[in-house]
Amino acid sequence: MTIAENQSNAENQGIFYRWLNRIERIDNAIPNPALLFVVLAFLVLLLSALVSWADLSVKHPGTGETIRAVNLLSVDGLHKILGGLITNFTGFAPLGVVLVAILGISVAEASGLISAVMRLLVLSAPKKLLTVVIVFAGVLSHMASDVGYVLLIPLAAMLFLAVGRHPLVGLAAAFAGVSGGFSANLLIGPTDALLAGLTQEAARIIDPAYLVTPAANYYFMAASALLVTALGTWVTEAIVAPRLGDYKGEAKQESLEKLSSDEKRGMWFTSIVALLFVGFILWGTVPADGFLRDPKTGSLLKSPFLSGIVAFIFAGGVLLGLAYGIGARTFKKADDVINAMENSMKTMSVYLVLAFFAAQFVAFFNWTNLGIILAVEGAELLRGMQLSGVTLIIAFVVLSIVLDLFIGSASAKWAVMAPVFVPMMMLLGYSPELTQAAYRIGDSVCNIITPLMSYFPLIVAFAQKYEPKAGIGTIMAMMMPYSIAFFIGWTLFLIVWFYLGLPLGPGADLFYETKPAT
């Protein structure tokens, strides 16, 4: 049964809970997620024809190029669809990441390593800190590419079930940290460098010598990591956990018995291999000329290590799983390892079907240029409202949120928005770093409630392991309180930061002084 159906006293719940239950029921009435993406793909085809026939066009703010809608309901469009059907699927960004990571993790899981580690964590850590640890780990996971989606979220569900709590509460807490707090982090990551480069190019439209570093928002985002952790923990315990109640599903709770002698030996084997594996990574990343750094620049931000992080997840899962399986004697022959991988792929069948249709929809939407047209038109509308100060910051965050519902990629949206808003804000006296910080809030808070986010189908698949009837509505209703809390709390945090006049990062002030013409 669905979560909403589990609420036996729904008539006695508060208005907010009843509203969430209604969202779940309505959104779960939407067809199967795979069918939904089929419908959306056909709607995009129809819309592309209508917008194309209306000859609606915009000028790309960065290149000045005229952008028109591409009609996919045409002979050329048909050829493009036929030619791209396979490559759309095989090139779908999350697909390879998920499958490769799951292959490695499956070895660790089948060996019993994950279960053993989970039991150690649960037996040694206070239960009251479990939610805080999960949300905070989700925030920090951004440094390791998409590991949070494929490893932390399902692991959090398993951990909560192990301590007798609803597994979807753990899933929600992890998802909130991983995706809802996407930009917050204590460390500088690849996203910081990518956005900073786009911001700098936009700033140089006004000031050709302007420099934006990857640390441009570091102070603000590091503080935001603590804020997101606090907000995520509060929402989990005060809203999500009471709403979901006790778990009544059929998934079995992991045993919390102490480790046996075989399991302890397996943990010793795993510890030795883990030290060697970590030592190998440190050998390649710590020295300035490390072999896992960028061979041209020596940078770690754009290094083979970070770009190949999924390969390290795969290798780590296999190596640690093998070490534990041999030590604990859960792996007796090589076929056991291969069987573990094969079984993990069987459980991913739902996601594979979802990914196929989601990939077609995303490709169609990108081919039509509808995303760029929507972004530019929305940007022009906000600019025409002639807002200033805090009102402008709030409006810009809201616009970023709206666009995030249509365009999932942070860099794709910023590539279109930055050339419009960074120069405009500079002319109004606000720094490019402030504009970027406001954008990052809007880009993050609604990731967890939009089905168009690349990993959303995967989250639905994870939830269905514990609630077979869970659907898009289940996840949206469960995550809505986080989005609301993050939007209000994070935006107010930026406003307070703005009024206090604190720098956003090293050398990154809030204001920009327009240089007089010479």
| Residue with more model confidence, 444 or 404 | 444
Specify the pLDDT at position 518: 44
For the stretch 16-21, contacts whose Cβ atoms lie closer than 8 Å and that sit 24 or more positions apart, written own/partner, are 16/239, 16/481, 17/243, 20/243, 20/477, 20/478, 20/480, 20/481, 21/477
pLDDT, average across residues 70-88: 92
pLDDT, average across residues 223-244: 93
Specify the pLDDT at position 11: 45
Q: Is the pLDDT of residue 293 over 70?
A: yes
Burial class (CB in 10 A: 0-12, 13-18, 19+), 36: buried
List of residues 6+ apart from 281 with CB closer than 8 A:
292, 305, 312
Q: Is the pLDDT of residue 517 over 60?
A: no
Greatest Cα pair distance, the chain, in angstroms, is 79
* Tens-digit pLDDT profile for residues 245-277: 888 887 776 655 678 889 899 999 999 999 999
pLDDT band, residue 429 (cuts 50/70/90) = confident
Q: Are 149 and 138 in contact (CB under 8 A)?
A: no
| Whole-angstrom distance, CA of residue 384 vs CA of residue 392 | 11
Q: Look up residue 420 and give its two tokens.
A: 């419009």
pLDDT, average across residues 289-301: 83
| Whole-angstrom distance, CA of residue 163 vs CA of residue 464 | 20
* Tens-digit pLDDT profile for residues 187-230: 776 677 778 878 887 888 778 888 888 888 989 999 999 999 99
Q: Are 282 and 288 in contact (CB under 8 A)?
A: no
Classified as helix, coil or strand, 216 is coil
Residue given tokens 């190029």 in the structure block: 65
| Whole-angstrom distance, CA of residue 206 vs CA of residue 332 | 66
Classified as helix, coil or strand, 319 is helix
Q: Look up residue 426 and give its two tokens.
A: 């500079």
* 217-247 burial: b if 16+ Cβ within 10 Å, else e: bbbbbeebbebbbebbbbbbeebbbebbeeb
Residue given tokens 């107010």 in the structure block: 492
Task: State the chain's mean pLDDT as an integer.
Answer: 82
Q: Is the pLDDT of residue 405 over 80?
A: no
* Tens-digit pLDDT profile for residues 18-42: 665 665 565 555 566 678 778 888 9
The helix, strand and coil proportions of the chain, stated in percent and rounded to the nearest 5, come to 70, 0, 30
Q: Minimum mean pLDDT among 204-208, 250-254, 414-418, 444-448: which range?
A: 250-254
pTM value surpassing 0.75: no
Q: Is the pLDDT of residue 173 over 80?
A: yes
Q: Is the pLDDT of residue 473 over 50?
A: yes
Helix and strand tally (H, E) in the chain? 24, 2
Q: Look up residue 74 and give its two tokens.
A: 């045409």
- In sequence order, what are the beta bridge partners of 505? 508
